[in-house]
Structure formats: C-alpha cells, structure tokens
Structure 1
C-alpha cells in the first residue's frame, strides 16, 4: 500500500494527515526455511541467498522462532561469503522521508572485525545509501546515510558495544534532520543531517553483507527481525 493510498484511507476515516504514516516496507523473521526468506510485511521483497567460496546461512533457534546465522569470522585470503538480497525496487527508497531500520543482532566479542554489514541499500561510493553495520574490534553498531546528490558518509555510532555474545535490538532512525541510533530501546547516539538528504538508488536491499564477492563486509554472527520502515 502506497503512502498516498494510506493518506486517502486516513481522510476517509476522518483522521488527520498532517504527519506522514510510517509504513513497514520490509520485515524478515526467518521462521521459514533457510533457502526461502519471505517478506513478512506483505510488500513482496522476498530475499534470495547469494554466496561465494562455499558461503552458507543456517537457521538457529531464537526465542520461540528462528534466526539466521552467517559464516564464522575467517582470516584466510579466501573466505566464505554470503548475503541475502531482495530485488532493487523503488519503494525501498525513502528519498527525503523519515526512515527507520534495524535488526536483532548476536555477535561474539571474538568475532568482530573492521566492519560487518547488517542491512543496507546502496553503496557509499557509487550511489546513495542507508546502512546498519557493526564497527571495529569493539563491536559498536553504527548507522550510515549517504545523499544521492552530495556523496559523503553521514554516520552515527553507538556509545556501547553490541558484540558480547547476547542478543541486542539495534535501531537506526532518521526523522527530518535528526539521525539517531538505539540499542535495546535506549538512545546511544545522535547527530544532525541536512533535512534535504535523500536516499534513492536501484540497488537491492542486502542483509549480512554487500554481496557474495571478496570485499563484502561479511557479518559473522546471527540476525533476526530485520526491518525497514519509511514515513
């Protein structure tokens, strides 16, 4: 359902439309088979597994359901690579609208690296982007936005680590010119960005890494409840 249609429904119901209606445009709880990752939002952004050098994902138990685990950390010259990707569709682009996205993450402190991508759309050097990643040996989550007209990374980093072998809910949130990161519902960092910053590209939504190639910033833990909300 498009934001315009949601607004029309709001009008017909006698509701105010002064503020945009947030829409969960993609959501994945990984409670199906590992090879078939369906979009629980109903918008049809189903994921396919892409891999290289023997990379695989597997289902692991998380609460009453499943999560998806990615390859363990590898320091060899050639390592397993795998990511989950949707088709690149325009409704996953927020433009200048409010945006929130996040995931439940599980990462061991011994599994951290220079950078591990959790969820992203677009690339910082060749297109606009939104991204959640786990940075550095300390394992601090960070959120990234890159404008489609003025390339340059806008980042907000959590003041606390999420790499302690326990599950954490990490949320990136852009509301107007405010860009913030939350860990387990607690604000852990915020910054200001231009209100005109826009993200729009034809790249897929990618989970667990950039892709299946060598320099893919592979995530080396488990993920659950990955989601994107626009509006």
Structure 2
C-alpha cells in the first residue's frame, strides 16, 4: 500500500512538471507612462527615457485604463514642424544579437493622423549598423515589424494585412524566433517574413520611441502610445 501511494505521488509530480507552463523571460524594458515619472523604465533595469525635440515638439498625456498614455504631435504639413522622440541611453542590454526577441506597444491612431511612415519604437537604423523596429505606414496605417542585420543592409519586414488607423486602441507585437519574424495585431497573427538564420541586431544607437530623433526626416509618430515593452531571450 505504501509503495502504491509513493508511486502515485511520483506520477502526479511528474505529470505536474510535464504540464507546467514554461517561464516567460522578464521584460528587458517596459514603459507604462503612469505614476509621477511617466518616462521611467518600470522593468527595473534603468532604461529611463529622455525627450529630444525641435521646433516646440513635446508630448502630452491622456487618461487610459486607470493610468496614462502619451500623445505625440499631430500631423504637420508646413515646416518647421514640431519633432520629438523619447530616447533611452545606448546599452548592449537592448541588443538581441541572434537571440529571440519580442517587442510591442499599444497604439491609437486616427485616419487623419497617418503619414508615409511613423516609427513607434526602434533601436538602430536600417542604413547603418542594424535595427529592430515597429512602425505604422501609409494612409491605411498598416503596422510592420522590421529587422536589419548588422553586416548586411537587407531590410526584412513582416507587414500586417490590416490597418490600425481607426481611432481605437490596438495592441501590436513583433516576434523574432529563428528564421521567422511575425507581427500580431490584437493577439492575431497578421503578417510573417523569413529571416536569415544568422541575422544579428547589435548596435550602439539609443533605443527610441516616437521617431528616429528630432531632425526633419524623423518619421514622427502622430498618435497615442501606451504600454511599450521589449523581451529578449
């Protein structure tokens, strides 16, 4: 009887171990834009943001889900236009190299806030170094995920088949694992791309939200932004 009880307990323990959900990696960086310091990295890793702006560019806040979201400058048709990006200091901790990476944000963009290109978040540039990026492009406001290798300049993009410029909140997510790059909109896969197996993203460029910088061709994000996060590994 004792032997039977021990075997039953062992079987339950093994079954519980086999069905346990794998631990998710903690966020490398996360911004909720809530609290007294809205630009603080709440992951605890210290990647706090600092604005860089030109021509009076600034951000505002609006209430959302008991906290706050950021509001970026509206579209501007005549220069000089307000420009602003939010930057974290450059760090190797935000370089995924060849490792898996997931990153995402919640966005709200109206039909009259679309442009040819708006950068939600990015680390690096496509023309030099390397890059990972989440952007929203064109009149339809179609989001896409972009990866560029640190040795080859080819741009690899997973483009969503649906737009998000409908003045409602949408959750966007990019996933890179091995040779697959995927974009999800509201937890639904909307686009994929195939990557070189050895594609690596590693650069000395600051991590940025809302644009490449404060210069004229900064691909300024025009809408509302909340809950930005990156997981590496």
**Please, what TM-score do these two structures have when normalized by structure 2?**
0.89
1:62 maps to 2:29: no
* Separation (CA, whole Å) in 1 of partners of 2:86 and 2:203: 18
Distance 1:220 1:160, change over 3 A: same
1:87-106 map, 5 Å: 87-106=89-108
Corresponding residue for 2:186?
184
SS at match of 1:110: helix
* Separation (CA, whole Å) in 2 of partners of 1:107 and 1:221: 5
* Separation (CA, whole Å) in 2 of partners of 1:179 and 1:73: 30
User: Structure 1 residue 82: deviation in Å?
Assistant: 0.4
* Separation (CA, whole Å) in 2 of partners of 1:204 and 1:139: 25
1:143-194 deviations in whole A, cap 9, x for unaligned? 1000001111100100000110000000000011110000000000112111
1:121-140 map, 5 Å: 121-140=123-142
User: Structure 1 residue 113: deviation in Å?
Assistant: 0.4
Q: How many residues align?
A: 214
Corresponding residue for 1:26?
29
Corresponding residue for 2:167?
165
Q: For structure 1, which runs of at least 5 residues remain unmatched after alignment? A: 1-13
* Separation (CA, whole Å) in 1 of partners of 2:154 and 2:213: 22
Corresponding residue for 1:48?
50
User: Structure 1 residue 21: deviation in Å?
Assistant: 6.1
* Separation (CA, whole Å) in 2 of partners of 1:59 and 1:189: 31
1:37 maps to 2:39: yes
User: Structure 1 residue 33: deviation in Å?
Assistant: 4.5
* Separation (CA, whole Å) in 1 of partners of 2:87 and 2:36: 15
- Cα RMSD of the aligned pairs, angstroms, is 1.7
* Separation (CA, whole Å) in 2 of partners of 1:70 and 1:137: 18
User: Structure 1 residue 22: deviation in Å?
Assistant: 2.6
- Indicate the structure (1 or 2) with the bigger Cα radius of gyration: 2
Q: For structure 2, which runs of at least 5 residues remain unmatched after alignment? A: 1-16
* Separation (CA, whole Å) in 2 of partners of 1:107 and 1:225: 15
* Separation (CA, whole Å) in 2 of partners of 1:165 and 1:99: 28
